[in-house]
Amino acid sequence: MANPTRLSGDAGSAHETVYRALRTRIMHGEMDPGEALTLRGIGKQYGVSMTPAREAVRRLAAEGALTMSSSGRVTAPDLSNDRIEELAAIRALLEPELAARALPRAHLALIDRLRAINARVSEFVAKQDAVGYLRTNLEFHRTIYLRAQAPAMLAMLETVWLQLGPTMRALYARRNRSDLQKHHRMILAALAAGDEPALRLAVRTDVTQGLKMLVS
């Protein structure tokens, strides 16, 4: 466990900080699928009382990022292949649309930034760093989708990413794939060419084929 992060301020700000810290850890796969948490442990780690810890967990449970049983047991999501495929189908609907909406604002500076991010993705793949790969892969996609100026759509997508985080990291670590970022080069080429059909296809392929490789 990381060193305790002490929080200050009122219960509302404490709850928000714990929520965001846990949300980031889950989305980036820094928890194992099915990993158990306790409110007491969360409170100790972040230096807060049970109330903000409980509220943060309830909020994450509502997003599907954690599960909380009637007995109060809290766990990270552990997804079946069917559930992974369902979430991949949602990604395949949302992400090409977000990319297409971003295309008119995909200037050279954005493409250069995406190339730099993709180079970091390759570095993490070479190091077999699953958490680093997942974090930079999401950064690549989010950097594009922020240009879509569609916050409701992006919020829906981030909920899907959140549910997938631990399982994606665990699957990637087991499969030891080295070719997961190749579709990013297709995305970059389509952005540079201003080719919307090619961009939609490249994003959809990246989402669906990447997950198929991991679960196969």
Q: What is the pLDDT of residues 175-211, one digit of tens each?
A: 655 566 788 999 999 999 999 999 999 999 998 876 7
Checking if the pLDDT of 3 tops 70, the result is no
- Last residue within a domain, chosen from 19, 40, 75: 75
**Within a domain: 189:** yes
Q: What is the domain range of residue 144?
A: 81-215
Q: What is the pLDDT of residues 91-107, one digit of tens each?
A: 999 999 999 999 999 99
**Within a domain: 3:** no
Q: Indicate whether 63 and 120 sit together in one domain.
A: no
**Within a domain: 125:** yes
93, 208 contact by CB (below 8 A): no
Mean pLDDT of 135-149: 96
Q: Indicate whether 57 and 99 sit together in one domain.
A: no
- Last residue within a domain, chosen from 26, 48, 75: 75
Q: What is the pLDDT of residues 54-95, one digit of tens each?
A: 999 999 999 999 988 777 789 998 888 888 889 989 999 999
- CATH number, domain with residue 52: 1.10.10.10
Residue 37, SS3 per DSSP: strand
Q: Indicate whether 105 and 152 sit together in one domain.
A: yes
pTM, two decimals, is 0.86
**Within a domain: 1:** no
- Last residue within a domain, chosen from 36, 60, 75: 75
The string of DSSP codes covering the chain is -PPP----S-HHHHHHHHHHHHHHHHHTT-S-TT-EE-HHHHHHHHT--HHHHHHHHHHHHHTTSSEE-TT--EE-----HHHHHHHHHHHHHHHHHHHHHHGGG--HHHHHHHHHHHHHHHHHHHHT-HHHHHHHHHHHHHHHHGGG--HHHHHHHHHHHHHHHHHHHHHHHHH--S-TTHHHHHHHHHHHHT-HHHHHHHHHHHHHHHHHHHH-
- Give the least confident one: 8-22, 25-39, 61-75: 8-22
Q: What pLDDT shows up at residue 87?
A: 92
Q: What pLDDT shows up at residue 7?
A: 44
What total of structural domains would you count in the chain?
Answer: 2
**Within a domain: 199:** yes
